Amino acid sequence: MKRVRLAVFASGSGSNYEAIAEACADGRLDAEIVLLVCDKPGAKVLERAKRFGTESFAFNPKDYESKAAYETLLVRMLQERGVDFVCLAGYMRIVGPTLLGAFEQRIVNIHPSLLPSFKGAHAIQDAVDYGVKIFGVTTHFVDETLDGGRIIDQGAVVYEGSDIEELTNLIHNIEHKLYVKTINKLINKKY
Ligand code: GAR
């Protein structure tokens, strides 16, 4: 049977991309990343993709007249490569109807909070500011809203300290395991 073909979308550091790439390489995932898409030319994730030999495509959304224009291009690239699932991994952009329509129920995201609490780009800091004691991570199908869509998996972190860096590391460690678990569910159609 052919290995499941993944595309990963990222905007920043790419530690989640790397966790998925490692799991593909060591057999925990019966999948391969056939394209890394990055909307921030110069982002660290592009160096990581180079190290793993993943084809990457970096683009600046401002160079396109609309979201529909660059998503039309992305859909074509994904279809040409036979992509089965799109994994958003720190892709800090709302996905539009062009991409959602072409990959219905096949786009997933990871977010560093127990959704539906603390959506957005500063979830960990927002939760700390709110006085949260049980933090977490969520994977979910993607819809047209910010960090919205049906939840697939969640993991919790109990933390009562005050070191945001330590907390962020704990959350990232959970993310890296949770994303692999979720992708395995997608591969085995158990969601
Ligand atoms: C991750 O913590 C991910 O959950 C978060 O961005 C980070 C990317 O880290 N995503 C969101 O906040 C989505 N709203 P990484 O680049 O090291 O994988």
List, in order of start, the domains of the chain with CATH numbers: 4-187 (3.40.50.170)
pTM summary value:
0.97
For a pocket test of ligand 1, which of 52, 152, 172, 177 has the largest count of ligand atoms closer than 8 A to its C-beta?
A: 172
Q: 13, 16, 52: which to mutate for ligand 1, most atoms within 8 A of CB?
A: 16
The contacts found for 113-120 with CB under 8 angstroms, 24 or more apart, are 113/137, 113/138, 114/138, 114/154, 114/156, 115/140, 115/147, 115/151, 115/154, 116/147, 116/148, 119/146, 119/147, 119/148, 120/146, 120/147
| Residues within 6 Å of ligand 1 by CB | 10, 12-16, 89-90, 110-112, 121, 123, 147, 175
Tens-digit pLDDT string for the chain (191 aa): 689 999 999 999 999 999 999 999 999 999 999 999 999 999 999 999 999 999 999 999 999 999 999 999 999 999 999 999 999 999 999 999 999 999 999 999 999 999 999 999 999 999 999 999 999 999 999 999 999 999 999 999 999 999 999 999 999 999 999 999 999 999 999 88
Task: Tell me whether residue 172 is one of the annotated catalytic residues.
Answer: no
